[in-house]
Structure 1
Amino acid sequence: MSRPVEITSEIDPANYSEIIDVRSPSEFLEDHIPGAINLPVLNDKERAMIGTIYKQENPFQAKKLGAALVSANISRAIKNNLIHRDKDYQPLIYCWRGGQRSMSMATILSRIGWKTTVIEGGYKTYRASVRKTIEEQCSQLDLMVISGLTGTGKTEIIKQLQLADEQVIDLERLANHRGSLLGAEPDRPQPSQKYFESLLAQNISGFSSKKVTWVESESNKIGNIHCPEALWLKMKTAKMIEVTVDINVRVKFLLAQYPHMTASPELLKEKINLLHHLYGKKQIKEWCAMIDESDWEDFVQSLLEKHYDPSYRRAINNKQRTEVAQYELTALNESSIAELVQKLVE
């Protein structure tokens, strides 16, 4: 006798062997439960075709053709992806609304003998849980913002705090972007806004309000990603520590951190030209000349002094944070950052 399909509104990946998203690839790409695999019962082209037939021609014909396509795709998924799963396999399945697509897959998997569960309300239920987690968790966080001019090692401090088992929100890692004009990561596209929020919700879901949560100072936009309002409002009024570093040390540190920029001078000039409306043709021409001459240290120092540092100071003045400490680093290396992190967690 086959197992009945179970229905749940509680989404805890730890309770299941695997999470299967049966929506189309484009739906999955926009957002999905982190860690889920995509086994679409209809691909994008098939889904569009069935929808068109249903609306414009004959709903019954659409259902018959849809059933044939779904059956073939589920068969392929079992043969290619699930054939080696053992009898204790317990998948959690969802589609857009917890309807026909997820139940089609779930029914067959349960007939095999696997304990199969479907998310009630599907992705819509999951998406609501993401928004709720961000709203509720962010309001309760004891947030400490790590602030400092560009090139003061804030990201490395965040990484070291995470290694020390501190509660950390690494926004740049989640957004795949370093949060500035030159912050795009080579060959690593940014996630969609919704998937960024999924990753953020996963990140903070287990955080305790009784412990400090560390976050790097960012603007409300990281590349193409917007910081959710609940977190952004919390960051604007949070406690803050500031890290200061001599500009010569910062210049050398940034050159070591951005080798892909000095290796692609034409791309770098394209990005610099985006600042023409702020600084005019003369300044842009000076920066481009430094790039052409590979005068990297002077270029970076000029960009810091004329663009990044003034922008940072303006942003800080628009926030209502309470500075609780200031730390000066004479070097930016693993040992100096580890020493600072030790002071922060004591």
Structure 2
Amino acid sequence: MRPDTHLYRELFLNDVPLMDARAPIEFSKGAFPGALNLPLMNDEERHQVGICYKQHGQDAAIALGNKLVSGQLKEARLQAWAQFTQDHPDGYLYCFRGGLRSLITQTWLREEAGIHYPRVVGGYKAMRGYLLNNLEQAIGSAHFQVLGGMTGTGKTDVLQQLNHSLDLEGYAHHRGSSFGKHATGQPSQIDFEHRLSIALLKKSAQGHQRFVLEDESQTIGRCSLPLSLYRGMQQWSLIWLEDSLENRITRIVRDYVQNLHAEFTVQYEPQAGFALFAEQLRQSLGRISKRLGHQRYQQLAVIMDDALLEQERSGVLDGHRAWIRGLLTEYYDPMYIYQREQKAERVIFQGDADAVLNYLRKQG
């Protein structure tokens, strides 16, 4: 029989399967990668029990919970828990604080299904606290370098070829610009923090003490960087990635047009997928219309519409190059040139992708 555990580090390093007994509303606000929500109580049941606890105390709340989760409902939940234990014999269960809900789940499994399944001591709250502490400690003690460059130079491509990189945009599921949304939504702020902390934990366990990450704003879509990390990024040394304008346009067509369209096609049937993809592109351009100025925005919007019509009719993507070129040369590039000048004293290396990769591999 496996004992209950408080070895949070091992749980995250080994991707141990986790059964989350919290209510769905709690799970949706934040969870751990790979955890499965199999609640003891649903949202309404939890709400009723919570009111009862405040008004009449713990014993009355437990009695109400047993009444609400009984009969066929209780049997269905027991079957789901039992299936999880069979599928994941090395896993653990937890609730918010490692208290009553996980204890009741554990007890019902043992007494009514004959299954001895361990739980996480301290539950979600303790595990999250561990990850946040680990994140702050790593930011304070590890060595970081920042990868910068103009839009479309392929910073993410470089990061994905390095063992000691942190892909902030990957954890946030967003490309970090007005055009950065994917076909599917972003994680919650809490889930983003968990992904980042676990990545740091695993890479540190592999022996890495130096990390490289992309130069980002304080927010990536709706996900905010930890303040200590963002402040550090304003001070750490900077590696500047360079590429030609034509290569950058080609890469942007690949990522923001071809691949984005493919994402929507996977999520929806082709016609609806294309319509949603096209609308997202138009909305992305619209979000920076004031900064572009009305006349330039209108010109780029017309070019984009023509390119989308041609893409829908023939599948040809070349028409997108014109609005992307205009957006780079007249909006993004001047902004990045200014930022590069402000950070000039922090730049310790610059070059194309091969040169930057060689440099960063030696640093790592």
Aligned residue pairs, count = 330
Cα deviation, 1:123-159, whole Å, max 9, x if unaligned, reads 2212221221111011122112111101001101111
Amino acid across the alignment from 1:31 = G
What is the match of residue 315 of structure 2? none
Partner of 2:242, secondary structure, is strand
Distance 1:62 1:81, change over 3 A: closer
Contact 2:3 2:118 in 1 (8 A): yes
Q: Which moved more, 1:35-44 or 1:289-298?
A: 289-298
What is the match of residue 268 of structure 1? 281
Is the aligned partner of 1:191 residue 2:187?
yes
Pairwise mapping of residues 180-219 of structure 1 onto structure 2 (< 5 A)? 180-186=177-183, 188-208=184-204, 211-219=209-217
Matched residues in 2 for 1:88 and 1:131: separation?
27
Contact 2:148 2:239 in 1 (8 A): yes
Matched residues in 1 for 2:245 and 2:14: separation?
51
Pairwise mapping of residues 267-286 of structure 1 onto structure 2 (< 5 A)? 267-286=280-299
Q: Which moved more, 1:313-322 or 1:103-112?
A: 313-322
Partner of 1:145, secondary structure, is strand
Matched residues in 1 for 2:14 and 2:324: separation?
50
Pairwise mapping of residues 1-346 of structure 1 onto structure 2 (< 5 A)? 6=4, 8=6, 10=8, 12-13=10-11, 18-55=17-54, 62-70=61-69, 75-83=75-83, 85=85, 89-111=89-111, 112-120=114-122, 122-161=123-162, 166-186=163-183, 188-208=184-204, 211-259=209-257, 264-294=277-307, 295-316=319-340, 322-328=346-352, 341-346=357-362
Cα deviation, 1:265-313, whole Å, max 9, x if unaligned, reads 4432222122232232112111112113324222101111222223334
In structure 2, stretches of 5+ residues that fail to align are 262-273, 308-318
Q: Which moved more, 1:125-134 or 1:144-153?
A: 125-134
Matched residues in 2 for 1:105 and 1:79: separation?
12
Matched residues in 1 for 2:248 and 2:169: separation?
19
Aligned-residue offset at 1:343: 4.8
Matched residues in 2 for 1:77 and 1:320: separation?
60
Cα deviation, 1:11-41, whole Å, max 9, x if unaligned, reads 5316896322100112112111222221100
Aligned-residue offset at 1:87: 12
Aligned-residue offset at 1:90: 4.8
Contact 1:87 1:114 in 2 (8 A): no
What is the match of residue 270 of structure 2? none
Partner of 1:117, secondary structure, is coil
Percent of matched pairs sharing the same residue: 28
Aligned-residue offset at 1:219: 1.2
Contact 2:147 2:155 in 1 (8 A): yes
Distance 1:88 1:243, change over 3 A: closer
Partner of 2:179, secondary structure, is coil
Distance 1:277 1:344, change over 3 A: same
Amino acid across the alignment from 1:114 = H
Matched residues in 1 for 2:302 and 2:16: separation?
57
Amino acid across the alignment from 2:17 = E
Distance 1:81 1:109, change over 3 A: closer
Distance 1:218 1:38, change over 3 A: same
In structure 1, stretches of 5+ residues that fail to align are 330-336
Aligned-residue offset at 1:250: 0.9
Contact 1:19 1:37 in 2 (8 A): yes
Give TM-score scaled by structure 1 length: 0.84
Structure (1 or 2) with the greater strand fraction:
1
Matched residues in 2 for 1:44 and 1:321: separation?
54
Aligned-residue offset at 1:206: 3.7
Partner of 2:352, secondary structure, is strand
RMSD: 3.0
Matched residues in 2 for 1:84 and 1:267: separation?
39
Contact 1:19 1:93 in 2 (8 A): yes
Partner of 2:334, secondary structure, is helix
Aligned-residue offset at 1:61: 5.3
Amino acid across the alignment from 1:137 = A
Contact 2:82 2:115 in 1 (8 A): no
Partner of 1:20, secondary structure, is strand
